[in-house]
Structure 1
Amino acid sequence: MKKRIRKYLTALIGIVLSSCSNGQITVAENGIEILNSGITKEQSQLLFDNTKSFPNNTQLSIAFIKNGKIDFLGIARTNDTIRLIENYKNAFEIGSITKVFTATLLSHFVNDQKLKLEDNIQDYLDFEINSKNGITFKELANHTSGLPRLPSNLNLLLVDQDNPYKDYGEEKLISYLTKEIELNHEPGLKYEYSNLGAGILGFELATISKSSYESLLQEKIFTKYKMANSTSKRENVETKLTKGLKPNGKTTSNWDFDALAGGGAIFSTVEDLSKFGLAQFDNTNNELTLTRKPTFKVNDNMSIGLGWHILKRKNGGELIWHNGGTGGYTSSMALDLENKNGIIILSNVSAFNKSMGNIDQLCFGLIKTLDEK
């Protein structure tokens, strides 16, 4: 019975896709509904294939950037049917895409000559880091610091599983740095992804400026790029906040960050992120250009700048890319700077969902289709 129902739904479920322009709906041979303008059958099939396994109430909010022009698309899964919604102004947790913004703040500090990338972070603190190895700002931003993924005094088994970072404040971070820090390797030698490193970077930039991470974001980035619905504080979200989902489809708590905000605290919309994406195409923007310069070769197919991962494509081009995941959300953002193309996906698919990798697959699949149009 279940197999028959599934087969029936597969044949009948239609994905209704929309861009900023108005178009007439047609039905492809596979039963998926598409628009005559904007969205192709291939893109429609990619959306169906990569979202059909997600639970009810799943939402995806997507920005298509083609030759510098933006179209938005929103879909929701309701009663096992994937339908059109308008959610490009809705806020989602962007997770680790936050790290790109933290690195962009660092670039502002460098361009304002407040510090240098190769400076030792110890030189800007009023307490002593208990390590024989010096760590630079660049090493925090490109994940070569040697720091572990998380601090040893943040035990995820002992905290609120639905909001694990909320009670990790300045006192705990300073205690870790002065008493418990232990590097996995000498700084600068190896790429090892670290939420802790990005968190320390955000914390230290706020300390240097005698401000807060949120204030820096608003002053240096969100206001500049007119990202009115972006914030690192849940209480500051003014637009509709899409509810995050557990893997089983039930709603879950949002994540609140304290001292480690630089690693993943931002709420944003695809409308706002598309503005930040378009700004990346301006090569005269020194702050953004610096973040995209390779600082470390991870392997033959990937290097890292400051925050951004730089991926080699099979067609010989490059993408700058980052993704993110929290308890209730998964995101992915890829930009083709040469052709001014990009895909930005925000979703309320849990990072713990076994199919969360579909969001990246969809992002890379969709941006490939922009090469062909």
Structure 2
Amino acid sequence: MKKYFSAFIGLLLSSFTNGQTTEAKNGIENNYKNLNNKQVKLLFNATKSFPNNTQLSIALIRNKKIDFIGVKRLNDTIKPIENQKYTFEIGSITKIFTATLLADFVEKQKLNLDDYIQDYLDFKIKTESKITFKQLANHTSGLPRLPSNLNLWLVDHDNPYKDYNKEKLITYLTKEIKLNQEPGTKYEYSNLGAGILGFELATIANSSFESLLQDKIFTKYNMLNSSSKRENIKTKLVKGLNPKGKDTPNWDFNVLEGAGAVFSTAEDLAQFVLAQFNYQNNALMLTQKPTFKINEAMSIGLGWHILKSEDSSELIWHNGGTGGYTSSMAVNVKKKNGIIILSNVSALNKKIANIDQLCIDFMKTLEEEDKK
């Protein structure tokens, strides 16, 4: 299962090798009564090579009961910290919220999953193949990862999306669009597709993406410290770190905000995970329903990747990565378990796979606890 988790870091720009970081000392032993010895060791081993000032904010959900764990590297030691209310960029986990908005539109009969996106726009997309809303949400639209008029060689690598505005997106769709394959035939992860989905839902609602998030999701699920706008952040914003451990700017996603613009906390995301266990919530259940089989081990719903766990149960999962942050979230709906990991580890850090691996390993320990 683990090889599939590391395959979807959402927003990487390029390969990068950082300088050597000295491994830290373990200062978290005997500090967390809600972690067993194995879990403490997993946490320390995953974080000991990250730079100074690295933070991880973790929510560990066992049968709907939430425990928060926070760690920070200070000088040469990994130490406990209470940071469940601290805000992080969550990167591509944003796509889960964009897909949840889509599910809400479907439940309220504002559109159907198999409707063509072209039918809801006041301009013509320059392609004979028609793309559905479902295909945007499950990465089978045929769209590339990024639009051709977003040149990563020319942008500010510390904030690559900030100048990609509505006008540029419309120019791409009306003049430059080129699909890599026929829609609905192949899974290909696309930040562009998720960005278009967020843009179009806001257009249909005659609203902003931020207003939709607040009205349809954040207020509903008591996620009072979540936003897609940095100026709206209410709690301490943890500074993102570049691969060398230096402070790096936050990313502004502009018109592609549906792909990765959300800021959140472990506390807020834990509330969203708890909502996933409510079988009466039709919109959330719709996001979890498989819509495309990627391979024998993985399918995709709306936003959520659906993976087979080692005990044959299913996990819904997504991760995220930006220039200064990495996140990973996995949920076992049947067993009502979940893991949320937020960090200020750059998605370009050479040890970045540790975050997803820790998410997997923690989930395995919860499965082991269930067997006892």
TM-score by length of 1: 0.92
- Counterpart secondary structure, 1:260: helix
Of residues 286, 293, 298, the one that matches 1:290 is 286
In the other structure, the counterpart of 1:164 is: 160
User: For structure 1, which runs of at least 5 residues remain unmatched after alignment?
Assistant: 17-32
Report the Cα offset of residue 49 of structure 1.
Answer: 1.1
Are 1:141 and 2:137 counterparts? yes
String of CA shifts for 1:182-216, please: whole Å, max 9, x gaps.
00000000000000000000000000000000000
Of residues 121, 127, 131, the one that matches 2:127 is 131
Report the Cα offset of residue 35 of structure 1.
Answer: 4.4
Distance 1:203 1:150 in 2: 15
In the other structure, the counterpart of 1:222 is: 218
Counterpart of 1:178, as a letter, is: T
Are 1:236 and 2:261 counterparts? no
Counterpart of 1:231, as a letter, is: S
Are 1:343 and 2:339 counterparts? yes
Aligned-pair Cα RMSD in Å: 1.2
Distance 1:220 1:36 in 2: 35
In the other structure, the counterpart of 1:320 is: 316
Distance 1:56 1:265 in 2: 26
Distance 2:51 2:126 in 1: 46
Of residues 38, 42, 45, the one that matches 1:46 is 42
Report the identity percentage: 69
Of residues 97, 101, 105, the one that matches 1:101 is 97
Q: Is the 8 A contact 1:191 1:298 kept in 2?
A: yes
User: For structure 2, which runs of at least 5 residues remain unmatched after alignment?
Assistant: 1-20
String of CA shifts for 1:265-304, please: whole Å, max 9, x gaps.
0000000000000000001000100000000000000000
Q: Is the 8 A contact 1:135 1:187 kept in 2?
A: yes
Report the Cα offset of residue 34 of structure 1.
Answer: 2.6
Counterpart of 1:129, as a letter, is: I
Counterpart of 2:61, as a letter, is: I
Counterpart of 1:14, as a letter, is: N
TM-score by length of 2: 0.92
Of residues 258, 263, 269, the one that matches 1:267 is 263
- Counterpart secondary structure, 2:26: coil
Are 1:85 and 2:81 counterparts? yes
Distance 1:346 1:329 in 2: 8
Report the Cα offset of residue 159 of structure 1.
Answer: 1.0
Q: Is the 8 A contact 2:31 2:80 kept in 1?
A: no
Distance 1:314 1:90 in 2: 32
Counterpart of 2:38, as a letter, is: E
Q: Is the 8 A contact 1:156 1:164 kept in 2?
A: yes
Distance 1:188 1:165 in 2: 27
Distance 2:193 2:32 in 1: 46
Distance 1:64 1:34 in 2: 17
In the other structure, the counterpart of 2:246 is: 250
In the other structure, the counterpart of 1:367 is: 363
Distance 1:349 1:49 in 2: 15
Q: Is the 8 A contact 1:34 1:40 kept in 2?
A: no
Q: Is the 8 A contact 1:100 1:306 kept in 2?
A: yes
String of CA shifts for 1:27-74, please: whole Å, max 9, x gaps.
xxxxxx134731111001111111111110100000000010001010
- Counterpart secondary structure, 2:30: strand
Q: Is the 8 A contact 1:146 1:184 kept in 2?
A: yes
Of residues 5, 10, 15, the one that matches 2:27 is 15
Trace 1:166-181 onto structure 2 (pairs within 5 A). Answer: 166-181=162-177
Indicate how the Cα distance of structure 1 residues 15 and 340 shifts in structure 2: closer, same or farther if over 3 A, else same.
farther
Distance 2:350 2:151 in 1: 23
Indicate how the Cα distance of structure 1 residues 34 and 206 shifts in structure 2: closer, same or farther if over 3 A, else same.
same
Counterpart of 1:344, as a letter, is: I
In the other structure, the counterpart of 2:150 is: 154
In the other structure, the counterpart of 1:75 is: 71
Report the Cα offset of residue 355 of structure 1.
Answer: 0.8
Greater relative contact order (Cα < 8 A, sep 6+) = 2
Are 1:190 and 2:178 counterparts? no
Counterpart of 2:275, as a letter, is: A
Counterpart of 1:88, as a letter, is: Q
Detail structure 1 runs of 4+ shifted over 4 Å in the superposition: none
- Counterpart secondary structure, 2:210: helix
In the other structure, the counterpart of 1:61 is: 57
Counterpart of 1:102, as a letter, is: T
Distance 2:27 2:65 in 1: 23
Trace 1:303-318 onto structure 2 (pairs within 5 A). Answer: 303-318=299-314
In the other structure, the counterpart of 2:330 is: 334
Counterpart of 1:141, as a letter, is: A
Distance 2:185 2:316 in 1: 22
String of CA shifts for 1:305-349, please: whole Å, max 9, x gaps.
000000001211110000000000000000011110110000000
